[in-house]
Structure 1
Amino acid sequence: MGKATLIDFWASWCGPCRQENPNVVALYNEFHNKGLNIISVSLDEDAADWKEAIAEDKLTWTHVSNLKEMKDPIALQYGVTQIPTTFLLDVSGKVVAVDLRGEALNAKVKKLLNIK
């Protein structure tokens, strides 16, 4: 079974990001064992704030940060200009959706993972 990957750009100081985190946790809990990976890229500058937010929001997947806020090289590579921003990648690594939320994201993940 292949894996789909959600790349989630966020930051501890971003209110809308923190409000979206419970939805991302629910998505991960529902689909991780069926083939979904999540990688969160933090655009924080303070490592302590970033790690505290991960613990508080119970974000149990892979996290990376260069602690360079919007100048993060990964964010620059993906053309991220605001957060939260998400990219959904198929098993080959191709971006198949950007900034889906809620039921639209769930439906797209189900389709990618061939879940009825």
Structure 2
Amino acid sequence: MLWNLRMRAAERGIWKSTEMRRLLADAGLEISAGKMSALWTGTPTTIRLDDLEVICSVLDCDPATLLICEPEKAAARRPQKEQQKAVGQSSAQVVAPRFGRHRSAPPL
């Protein structure tokens, strides 16, 4: 995923992280200077959905504007054997459902 916060903020005329932090605080989201710096300069490894909702509200956008998929990166992480298998197959593998009770009984 590509984190697009700075570009979206620039489109809204927000050029400094301190300005963005102030707007978020006005919207009810208090972010520390360190966390704001991390959001502003890099791609966060995690973000709370509540925080994302406020950020989107301030920037007048939806999460898809801030989080851009990069399918080539996901494909690059796939193990080599699986990549070769996927390239060699033209149709997807069909998984048949298992009916009946195929589980062990719970402990007594």
Which protein is richer in helix relative to its size?
2
Which protein is richer in strand relative to its size?
1
Q: TM bucket by the smaller chain?
A: under 0.3
Larger Rg: 2
Q: TM-score, normalised by structure 2?
A: 0.23
Q: TM-score, normalised by structure 1?
A: 0.22
